């Protein structure tokens, strides 16, 4: 039977989806992509923006036309009845029961041997109690690097964010288990792991923090490369910054900045000032040689006037980010800003998003030009359009030139950045690691 796990949202969702896919693969199911046709679709949803929810509904309707569809994730936690109405064979499993899906494959295999239909088998599934840290994939169907979940939940209550409502309070996976799982992935042959969480820098934040965990991992592991999914700035400290200097820590940092205006940051409940943020970003740029520095930015947050937007624009430009992930403000239910009276008109919000996306393209082009001729490493992702493609240590998508005859997914190659050709950046292989 063919199973597709379709994921919306963050790296943590992708990590959890990979663990669910791995559980099906171990029971003999074939894992396929969304375009390949599946007997069962599992949709792992996101509730960060209304657009993410719209896309989830669209994909659920499409999948449910041909096959039973199971829906889970943050959106499923908060809007179960809405999602159940999207098709006759749509089953919703809320986020707080999602980890139980790691046992669904074995249940379905037995149920179908007993002449249950697939959807009947799904409905009869209750699952065993499971924790948010039971996601521990050994194989990865949709990514060339390994993912390791170490944190969940968030103790911040940003006024625009719905995720902490769905995910709950911050939790951290025991350091000993993190190290055991990382070692197992290295022994399995993975060249890189991405550490994921809802608020990754809140890992164990009352004790030794994320920096202490990274120090322990770097002591225990061999040459395994480590990448962080994102870092909220309010818990980036000197211990963490020191750990990032290790060459095995990859030169790519994703920071949810959200605004470059102190007044807007205060209005929406962020835990830092622009002066503090500038000091952190300046320090991050010193721990690596020209790292890829990406930022999340929200345009049209309530109270953002022309002056505040201009402050944000100049801040992003002067810091010299490598890319901006721009999101027009989306009022979310269950958040303080849902009924805000000082909302920015949608036309103004969207125009500001357009301006920042133009700035992002300029910043990315400048960054890629600076990489020409520099040494780097790439992990092979697969073939596309007759070429091998991959992602470099600084998270640049590249087309691989001069790949070895035995190239394969997940392989680590060394080489030199070439020029941008059409939509691709060339990476010229000089050595196979």
Q: What is the pLDDT of residues 144-196, one digit of tens each?
A: 999 999 999 999 999 999 999 999 999 999 999 999 999 999 999 999 999 99
Residues in Cβ contact with 103 at an 8 Å cutoff, skipping those fewer than 6 apart: 23, 127, 128, 130
Q: What is the dihedral of CA 379, 382, 387, 389, to 10 degrees?
A: -30
Q: How do strand 151-152 and strand 171-172 relate by DSSP bridges?
A: antiparallel
3-state secondary structure of 141: coil
Do 389 and 382 touch, CB atoms closer than 8 A?
yes
Give the whole-angstrom CA distance, residue 82 versus residue 173: 33
Q: Does domain 252-371 have CATH number 3.40.50.300?
A: no
Q: Pick out the chain residues at pLDDT < 50.
A: none
pTM beyond 0.85: yes
DSSP string, 199-247: SGGGTTTTTTHHHHHHHHHHHH-SS-EEEES---GGG--HHHHHHHTST
Do 304 and 264 touch, CB atoms closer than 8 A?
yes
Do 139 and 30 touch, CB atoms closer than 8 A?
no
What are the φ/ψ torsions at residue 68 (nearest 5 degrees)? -55, 140
**Fold match between domain 144-250 and domain 375-432:** no
CATH class of 375-432: mainly beta
Q: Which CATH number applies to 144-250?
A: 3.30.750.210
Residues in Cβ contact with 131 at an 8 Å cutoff, skipping those fewer than 6 apart: 99
pLDDT of the residue at 114: 82
pLDDT of the residue at 232: 96
**Which residues does residue 6 pair with via DSSP β-bridges, in sequence order?**
43
In CATH, which superfamily holds the domain spanning 2-123? Methylthiotransferase, N-terminal domain (3.40.50.12160)
The arrangement of strands across the sheet holding 252-258 comes to 252-258, 292-299, 323-328
How far from chain centre, in Å, is Cα 61? Answer: 24
pLDDT of the residue at 432: 73
Do 282 and 291 touch, CB atoms closer than 8 A?
no
3-state secondary structure of 279: helix
Q: Which of 45, 38, 48 is nearest to 4 (CA)?
A: 38
Q: Which of 175, 159, 158 is nearest to 210 (CA)?
A: 175
What are the φ/ψ torsions at residue 24 (nearest 5 degrees)? -70, -40
Residue-wise pLDDT for 122-151, tens only, equals 999 988 889 999 999 999 999 999 999 999
pLDDT of the residue at 178: 97
pLDDT of the residue at 433: 65
pLDDT of the residue at 423: 74
pLDDT of the residue at 29: 95
**Which residues does residue 151 pair with via DSSP β-bridges, in sequence order?**
172
Domain ranges of the chain: 2-123, 144-250, 252-371, 375-432
Give the whole-angstrom CA distance, residue 431 versus residue 409: 16
């Amino acid at each position: 039977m063919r199973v597709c796990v379709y994921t919306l949202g963050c790296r943590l969702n992708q990590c959890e989806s990979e663990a669910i896919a791995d559980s099906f693969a171990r029971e003999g199911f074939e894992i396929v992509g969304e375009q390949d046709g599946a007997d069962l679709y599992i949709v792992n949803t996101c509730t960060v923006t209304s657009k993410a929810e719209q896309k989830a509904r669209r994909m659920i309707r499409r999948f449910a036309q041909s096959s039973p569809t199971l829906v889970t994730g943050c959106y499923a936690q908060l809007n179960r009845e809405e999602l159940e109405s999207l098709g006759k064979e749509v089953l919703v499993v809320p986020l707080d029961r999602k980890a139980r899906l790691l046992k669904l494959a074995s249940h379905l295999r037995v149920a179908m041997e007993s002449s249950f239909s697939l959807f009947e088998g799904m409905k009869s599934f209750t699952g065993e109690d499971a924790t948010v840290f039971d996601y521990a994939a050994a194989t990865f169907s949709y990514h060339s690097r390994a993912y390791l979940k170490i944190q969940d939940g968030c103790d911040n209550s940003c006024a625009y964010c719905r995720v902490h409502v769905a995910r709950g309070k911050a939790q951290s996976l025991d350091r000993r288990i993190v190290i055991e799982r990382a070692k197992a992935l290295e022994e399995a042959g993975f060249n890189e792991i991405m550490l994921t969480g809802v608020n990754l820098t809140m890992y164990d934040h009352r004790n030794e923090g994320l920096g202490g965990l990274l120090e322990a991992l770097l002591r225990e592991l061999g040459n395994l490369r480590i990448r962080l999914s994102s870092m909220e700035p309010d818990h980036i400290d000197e211990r963490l910054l020191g750990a990032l200097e290790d060459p095995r820590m990859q030169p790519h940092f994703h920071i949810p900045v959200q605004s470059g205006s102190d007044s807007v940051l205060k209005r929406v409940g962020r835990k830092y000032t622009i002066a503090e943020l500038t000091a952190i970003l300046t320090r991050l740029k010193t721990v690596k040689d020209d790292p890829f520095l990406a930022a999340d930015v929200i345009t049209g947050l309530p109270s953002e006037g022309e002056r505040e937007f201009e402050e944000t624009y100049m801040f992003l430009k002067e810091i010299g980010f490598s890319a901006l992930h721009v999101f027009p403000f989306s009022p979310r239910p269950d958040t303080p800003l849902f009924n805000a009276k000082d909302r920015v008109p949608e036309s103004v919000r969207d125009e500001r998003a357009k301006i920042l996306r133009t700035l992002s393209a300029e910043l990315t082009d400048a960054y890629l030009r600076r990489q020409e001729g520099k040494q780097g490493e790439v992990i092979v992702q697969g073939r596309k359009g007759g070429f091998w493609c991959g992602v470099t240590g600084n998270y640049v998508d590249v087309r691989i030139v001069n790949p070895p005859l035995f190239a394969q997914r997940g392989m680590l190659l060394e080489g030199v950045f070439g020029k941008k050709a059409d939509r691709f950046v060339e990476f010229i292989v000089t050595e196979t690691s």
